[in-house]
Amino acid sequence: MSPASPERPQPDETTNPLEHALERIRVPFEAFLRDQTTSSLLLFTCMVAALALANSPYAEAFSALLHTPIGVYLGDYRLEKSLSHWINDGLMPLFFFILGLEMKREILAGEFQDPRRGLLVICCAIGGMAAPALVYLALNSNAPALQGWGIPMATDTAFALGVLVLLGKRVPPGLVTLLVAIAIVDDMGAVLVIALFYTDTVDWSLLGSGSLALVLMLLLNVAGIRRAWPYALMSAALWAAFLFSGVHTTVAGILAALTVPASPSHGHRQFMKRIKKLLSRVDDKREPRSPILGDAEAHELIEEIENTAYQATTPLQRWERTLETPVGLFVLPLFALANAGLSLTSEELLSALAAPATLGVGLGLVLGKFVGILGGCLLAIWTGLGRLPEGVLPGHVGGMALVGGMGFTMSMFIATLAFGQNPELLAQAKVGILGGTFAAGALGALWLVWFARHRDSPSTP
């Protein structure tokens, strides 16, 4: 018996045929845009496009575009940065803001609620950060290449999730949840690394101004303010203070996210009681098929229903859901387009492949992540500190640990901070990132496909 087809929305008396036809297109299109695989494919496409542009006749024109100065001028006040700086310092904090929201949600209502699963995630994440850094340092113990030790530490959530989603039923749902939790923790670690080790000089007076904005945001939270605009204004002030203080603005994105309210104005019981009362009033008030346009009281009641539903949701979830699509479809692909370009001759590429910085990054992403995540997992289970999610086996974790070596976005970001003034080392780091990311994704997918077939084999006990 085949499963029942999902019911299509039926037009009512207010829907004209054209509107209904457009609705049938809009709903699946919006679902496609929100799908994690879509953003992963777009990110991959922009990465390939950046490499193609960097090795095309348009390379100089594209580089000139990225270095075009763009600024804001008010009298004698000037804020001018290149286009690539605006992408990295202006748009990327939105990505880190979403990361901060995910971190807070995961801590309050995710894997960390179960102490043993939370400890498992922490052990995997610490191993997945420490081992890649140690692999890199083993191959690059001298300056200036030493500065790149943080490059292979973080997992690119979009790419890694894209691989697991494409594998479909071969991957248990708990493994996806585990990967997201690990990626969130090692993103936190990467942010700390950026703040502590990739900040040259700090203007403490400006940082103090930023701290004042952060305190005001915390007070807004305590006071029960749940509208977006006060937080947006204070976040802009926090971003500006960090921009000029010397501490990277991505840290401002994380800190701002941690102040966002995570509780609703109305609890579930209060919401149900209020919404039932309002619905009964609407039902009693309106005549069948009467147009709402001419019924001001009924319109006010429906607006009150909308406001009641709004107050029963959390700002954290609303803002995360509002931003995740534009960030996934615009900010991250634009970052890839601006930073993934790499122009090397065949001789230069062969030379880069043998360079210690390239090997350190590439092996750090593939070997370091695999050993660190899987080793942290096995250690947590062996000591009794950790517990795997339902349906997840150590064999699954091995494949996921390889996929976790896909470190494109955060790795590229740290590489620009570490080697921005050294084009040769930056190019070597990019070769290591691209090679390591592709190898980790391919090896992880092959591992998980093999493991799924091995488990389903009749000879398997």
DSSP 218-276: HHHHHTT---HHHHHHHHHHHHHHHHHHSS-HHHHHHHHHHTS--S-SS-HHHHHHHHH
pLDDT of residue 367 exceeding 80: yes
Whether 100 and 112 map to the same domain: the answer is yes
Does residue 221 form part of some domain?
A: no
Whether 296 and 319 map to the same domain: the answer is no
Whether 254 and 377 map to the same domain: the answer is yes
pLDDT per residue over 20-32, tens digit each? 555 555 545 455 4
Whether 257 and 392 map to the same domain: the answer is yes
Query: Helices 356-363 & 423-456, crossing angle to 10 degrees?
Result: 30
Does residue 419 form part of some domain?
A: yes
Does residue 174 form part of some domain?
A: yes
Does residue 358 form part of some domain?
A: yes
pLDDT of residue 45 exceeding 70: yes
Does residue 378 form part of some domain?
A: yes
pLDDT of residue 461 exceeding 50: no
In angstroms and rounded to an integer, the radius of gyration of the C-alpha atoms of the chain is 25
pLDDT of residue 344 exceeding 80: no
Whether 360 and 253 map to the same domain: the answer is yes
Least confident of 109-113, 164-168, 187-191: 109-113
Query: What does the pLDDT read at residue 457?
Result: 57
Tell which wins on pLDDT, 44 or 153: 153
Query: What does the pLDDT read at residue 95?
Result: 83
Q: From CA 339, how far away is CA 92, in angstroms rounded? A: 12
**What is the SS3 assignment for 7?**
coil
**What is the SS3 assignment for 73?**
strand
Query: What does the pLDDT read at residue 303?
Result: 82
Question: Shortest CA distance to 184 belongs to which of 239, 116, 90, 110?
Answer: 110
The arithmetic mean of pLDDT across residues 307-335, rounded, is 85
Q: From CA 342, how far away is CA 318, in angstroms rounded? A: 38
Confidence of residue 115 (pLDDT cuts 50, 70, 90): confident
How many domains does the structure of the chain reveal?
Answer: 2
Residue 144 preceded by cis peptide, ω within 30: yes
Q: What is the DSSP letter of 78?
A: E
CB 368 within 8 A of CB 401: no
Question: Shortest CA distance to 428 belongs to which of 350, 355, 337?
Answer: 355
Residues 6+ apart with CB under 8 A from 45: 333
Whether 258 and 284 map to the same domain: the answer is no
pLDDT of residue 265 exceeding 50: yes
The arithmetic mean of pLDDT across residues 222-229, rounded, is 89
Query: What does the pLDDT read at residue 3?
Result: 43
Question: Can you give the residue range of the structural domain that contains 300?
Answer: 268-311
Query: What does the pLDDT read at residue 437?
Result: 92
Confidence of residue 18 (pLDDT cuts 50, 70, 90): low
pLDDT of residue 373 exceeding 90: yes
pLDDT per residue over 392-429, tens digit each? 898 999 999 999 998 887 888 899 888 988 888 998 99
pLDDT per residue over 353-364, tens digit each? 889 999 999 999
Whether 273 and 347 map to the same domain: the answer is no
Tell which wins on pLDDT, 6 or 254: 254
What percent of the chain has a predicted confidence (pLDDT) above 90?
25
Whether 444 and 358 map to the same domain: the answer is yes
Mean of all residue pLDDT scores within the chain: 82
Tell which wins on pLDDT, 378 or 33: 378
Least confident of 2-11, 117-126, 407-416: 2-11
Most confident of 18-27, 220-229, 239-248, 341-350: 220-229
Whether 195 and 84 map to the same domain: the answer is yes
Whether 355 and 434 map to the same domain: the answer is yes
Does residue 108 form part of some domain?
A: yes
Residues 6+ apart with CB under 8 A from 281: 301
The arithmetic mean of pLDDT across residues 160-168, rounded, is 79
Question: Shortest CA distance to 173 belongs to which of 380, 389, 424?
Answer: 389
pLDDT of residue 57 exceeding 70: yes
Strand partners, 73: 78
